[in-house]
Amino acid sequence: MMAQYLDIKAQYPDALLFYRMGDFYEMFFDDAVNAAEALDIALTKRGKHEGEDIPMCGVPVHAANGYLLTLIRKGFRVAVGEQLESPAEAKKRGYKAVVKRDVVRLVTPGTLTEDALLDARRHNFLVAYSELRAGAALAWADISTGAFHVMPVAPVRLSPELARLAPSELLVLDEPVYQRLRPLADEHKVPLTPLGKSSFDSVSAETRLCELFKVGSLEGFGSFNRAELSAMGALVDYLEITQKGKLPLLQPPQQESEDRVVQIDAATRRNLELTRSLSGEKFGSLLSVVDRTVTPSGARLLEQRMSSPSRNLDVIHARLAALDFCVDQSAHSAQLRDALRKTPDLDRALSRLALDRAGPRDLAAIRNALTQAEAIAATCDDMELPALIAQATSDLQGFDELLELLDAALVAEPPLMTRDGGFIAPGYDSELDEARTLRDEGRSVIASFQQKYAEHTGITSLKIKHNNVLGYFIETTATHAAKMLGEPLNETYIHRQTTANQVRFTTVELSEIETKILNAGNLALEIEKRLYSMLSGAILEQSARLNLAARGLAELDLLTALADIANGENWCRPRIDDTRAFNVIGGRHPVVERALRQQAGESFVANDCDLTAQDGAAIWLLTGPNMAGKSTFLRQNALIALLAQMGSYVPAEDAHIGVVSQLFSRVGASDDLARGRSTFMVEMVETAAILNQADDRALVILDEIGRGTATYDGLSIAWATLEHLHESNQSRALFATHYHELTQLANKLPGVDNATVTVKEWEGEVIFLHEVRKGAADRSYGVQVAQLAGLPPSVVARARDVLDMLEQSSREGTGGQVRIDDLPLFAAAPPTQPAAPKGPSPVETLLEEIHPDHLSPREALEILYKLKETASK
């Protein structure tokens, strides 16, 4: 057995081997040591290898999913080695024959399908990246849903795309690409898996893809370049390796391009907290506030749309038209949501079925999903529907025959596993019903045979009994032997045994029923498994249409969820066009608004923002104190643009937005110590990315550029950045700063306007009004904010003194005009007054009188006591 284990393990040196032994998956040697530590389970030993004990640990098969999830999250890959035959079959080859085992699946982060291992409301993307001389491309798939996409991508765009997709695993060509991309993979916290050159060969990839989709050419799916073929081929090759030939039910590849969606880099996604907060949790993100979907597929579609807002006006308008219908028909939308709540995850049930990892509950999930789909489609009959909803409801119909089959075949609540049996409904298959009757009611069947034979022979004392030698037999007393052995009964009753007082017989019918009773349990299970395969085949035959139905359910869920938040939170329909307009009236930050309402019972102060520009830049230079809401104002306008272009209503009274091509954010302070970057360096890298990439259709929000360095350095960088945005990028931008000197640029640059967040001083305290108005702030109120934060009063007082001195010395001429000039050195704090001089202390006087060289040990001890006594006084 250990020789078999080592042979299998040698094929998967980089994975933990789950070696099936009965009801446990066992691990040995280093695998056991690593797994025991990772899973916090007992490490034991069994047998010896080369004279040393063999470390061993194991996990129960029925609870393996939980352990697999822990191992995958800790960065392990797991090869699952199953028994391919029963011990009884193995013994036919010899008494000491080892049960055949082999790996049936390699479990990696990007190839999970079980509900217990996945977040139902998020995609689990496996991504392949290929670089060829002709270009580079990304291919990604979620094998738990069948989604399959590909797009060309410039190498410099790889990081933003990884941020958008948030993959669970990234496949790349082995050296040197693997080493080059490791820092990027670490930055995005995605496991990197190297593959050989053969996996990325574009010629064999085309053949591989044609075989997968059973087509002679891929032209029907699109025109793919060599890099795209290479990436798709590598992904499919990896799936063949990990799934051991059982390929998932991948949908035909959908070709995407960078110009179809808003470009958002990793820093902007992080700063805006789109799908995850800065702490890495969903709570506190935009997604957590907007997500009112009631199905897992709807939640996945929402995250996908939020991560990839569209730039296509036709797509945006179609989504908004469908959303208008759901908003106006609120009662109908509520009815749809009630039906959708009862709809299982059709996508993932279908995928598990294709991979042969499904169970009876997946069949029931597909049946229940189709039942709800039929009900949902029926509610839309005789209604004038927008195109998007009409298409979705159309895709939900046409499954009558399949639904009828599943309804007739399955019980209402089937068991989890096929081996448990009992999932086929009574009355569906007569052979199965008979086997179940024999299994469950064997005694009553034998009793009916006994009554039948007693009536046939006329012997009322006839009995049917059982023993281990004869099995079931008919027994009569010896007085009836002659009758039973004579004609015509001897033609039916076959003599088996005669004892002193009884005669025993059997019949062909009784022998057959005995065999059936003894094998009824196994027979019933085998019949159910056969019927399960038949039902699975019937479902998979319609997999393409079922995928469309799943997409239709997700679309309806997302639309009704967005309608629910639009009606409930008083969001407005945005006007989206191809101009360079950006005019938001009464805009609000949805996350902050909810937090204020839930935590403090306060209302959010709405603000306008007009960055409309025909030609050139449109920039608001925003000044005002800390804690007044500048960062919130910046973020809320970026989020409003994003929500509008994903096809949602927005938190505002009115919004007119010209299509945004790129969304850039430089907000907040952070460092990257692992890569040797200070806070200021990170700030400059992010700012450089914006200035080098932003075009005139971009929306840029910048907060406190230059604050991480010396005053003049920071001011000069902020000044030059603002000028570059205005002159070169010509973007629509919000630029928040504490450098009030920059407000002078509004007089110099025609596209720059000053705006400020207002405050009010009352009895020495500052009150934040959170209102954005045109104009410039005259101060930042930093000392007041420091006081609110709890700095010691002495520090606050000293800060006021220094501030007064700096403000006075930095003004020159008349009118109090602030001039950019060398700031004076900080005045030193008043020194502490020295204490008045005093005479020598008694201890010092006593020490002066001591001459150590003249002291005996006894005298030294007495002086020590005297010194202590004097010091205590």
Q: What is the domain-level CATH number for residue 659?
A: 3.40.50.300
- 138 with 85, same domain: the answer is no
pLDDT in tens, 818-842: 343 433 433 344 444 444 455 677 7
Range of the domain at 237: 120-260
Residue 698 and residue 285: Cα distance in Å, rounded? 23
248 vs 646, residue with greater confidence? 646
pLDDT in tens, 347-375: 999 999 998 889 999 999 999 999 999 99
- 72 with 142, same domain: the answer is no
Residue numbering of the annotated binding site for ATP: 624-631
What are 870's two structure tokens?
A: 């004097």
Residue 322 lies in a domain: yes
- 547 with 680, same domain: the answer is no
- Domain final residue pick, 738, 759, 779: 779
**Mean pLDDT value of segment 564-579:** 96
**Mean pLDDT value of segment 39-45:** 93
- 616 with 666, same domain: the answer is yes
- 639 with 725, same domain: the answer is yes
pLDDT in tens, 446-464: 889 999 999 999 999 999 9
Residue 423 above 60 pLDDT? yes
* Total number of domains constituting the chain: 6
Residue 650 and residue 664: Cα distance in Å, rounded? 19
- 476 with 585, same domain: the answer is no
**Mean pLDDT value of segment 407-434:** 92
What is the pLDDT, as a whole number, of residue 443?
79
**Mean pLDDT value of segment 177-183:** 92
- 597 with 564, same domain: the answer is no
**Mean pLDDT value of segment 701-720:** 84
Q: Show the DSSP H helices in 243-359 as ranges.
A: 266-272, 286-290, 296-307, 313-328, 330-341, 346-354
Residue 110 above 70 pLDDT? yes
Q: What is the domain-level CATH number for residue 129?
A: 3.30.420.110
- 729 with 585, same domain: the answer is yes
Residue 332 lies in a domain: yes
Average pLDDT, the chain: 88
What is the pLDDT, as a whole number, of residue 813?
41
Residue numbering of the annotated binding site: 624-631
- 373 with 509, same domain: the answer is no
CB 709, CB 682: distance < 8 Å: no
Residue 630 lies in a domain: yes
Reported in sequence order, the residue ranges of 500-548 that DSSP labels E, i.e. its strands, are: 502-506
Residue 764 above 70 pLDDT? no
Length of the chain counted residue by residue: 873
Residue 570 and residue 566: Cα distance in Å, rounded? 6
CA distances from 556 to 298, 335, 373, 381, 765 (A): 8, 12, 11, 15, 51
Q: Which of 2-16, 55-69, 530-544, 621-635 has the lowest average pLDDT?
A: 621-635
Residue 636 above 90 pLDDT? yes
**Mean pLDDT value of segment 652-676:** 79
Residue 72 lies in a domain: yes
What is the pLDDT, as a whole number, of residue 873?
67
- 339 with 443, same domain: the answer is no
Residue 670 above 90 pLDDT? no
**Mean pLDDT value of segment 1-14:** 92
Run of H or E including 45: strand 44-49
Terminus-to-terminus CA distance in the chain, angstroms? 85
830 vs 133, residue with greater confidence? 133
What are 164's two structure tokens?
A: 């958008």
Residue 805 lies in a domain: no
Question: pTM surpassing 0.85?
Answer: no
- 624 with 772, same domain: the answer is yes
Residue 166 lies in a domain: yes
**Partners of residue 106 on adjacent β-strands:** 79
Residue 443 lies in a domain: yes
**Mean pLDDT value of segment 621-641:** 90
- Domain final residue pick, 506, 531, 556: 531
Residue 850 above 90 pLDDT? no
Q: What is the domain-level CATH number for residue 436?
A: 1.10.1420.10
Q: Which of 392-401, 537-546, 591-600, 850-859 has the lowest average pLDDT?
A: 850-859
- 669 with 774, same domain: the answer is yes
- Domain final residue pick, 207, 240, 260: 260
**Partners of residue 585 on adjacent β-strands:** 654
pLDDT in tens, 254-293: 999 888 999 999 889 999 999 999 888 899 999 999 999 9
Residue 744 lies in a domain: yes
